[in-house]
Amino acid sequence: MGDAIGQVLSFAVGVAISPVPIIGVVLMLGTPRGRVNGPAFILGWIVGLSVVGTIVLLVSSGADASERGKPADWVNVVKIVLGVLLLLVAVKQWRSRPPAGGRSELPRWMKSIDRFTPVRSMVFGIVLSAVNPKNLILAVGAAAAIAQTGISAGKQAIALTVFVLVGTLGPGIPVALYFALGERSKKILADLKDWLALHNVAIMAVLCAVIGAKLLGDGISGF
């Protein structure tokens, strides 16, 4: 099980460092419904990652992801494909970076965030964790990495739980600060939001490039 947990940590960190969702949850916390919408968003985030991971684990287990203690060939192919996709995302992000000193344009849905209900906040949490291309690729990669170890279903569930918990730290920490520090958290969260808005594209490009290269290398070396 230790090998499975070690395999998913890099994927989990990649999911956790998601500037747009973190900015979104910080904005939610600044609205009148922040005390409800923030936790609702986190709940949706956890559900999204858990559902994607569980589906991939079930499919991978049924398709024999592990052969004699080593990843099956199809798992290596999946890693290569996911690695290439992440590298393409990295290139796209880098090419869309704003001029020096400028800020990348944030999604339109953030302009209406003060009108979000708890249900809508939860739905956006699910979408941003499970449907967002970068996070979807990472969640699939993490689940495939767990399945390839050939451990029991119970241990797979524990490894997936670790992935989900670590992957939730990014948007989860602002919510924790909000409840722990109250008014004192406003300055910290505002500074965090501004910094992420300024460096969003660069963070995403570097992150996708590093994890994409790792996946590609792991897939190639697996043959």
* pLDDT tens-digit readout, 177-220: 999 998 889 899 999 988 888 888 888 888 889 988 988 888 88
Q: Domain locations in the chain?
A: 2-221
- Count of CB atoms situated within 10 Å of the CB of 11: 28
168 phi and psi angles, rounded to 5 deg: -90, -10
Q: Region 142-149: what's the mean pLDDT?
A: 84
pLDDT surpassing 60 at residue 63: no
Q: Is 79 left (phi over 0), alpha (psi -120 to 50) or beta?
A: alpha
Q: One-letter amino acid identity for 24?
A: G
Cβ burial, residue 115 (10 Å; 0-12/13-18/19+) = exposed
pLDDT tens, residue by residue, 85-103: 999 988 988 887 766 655 6
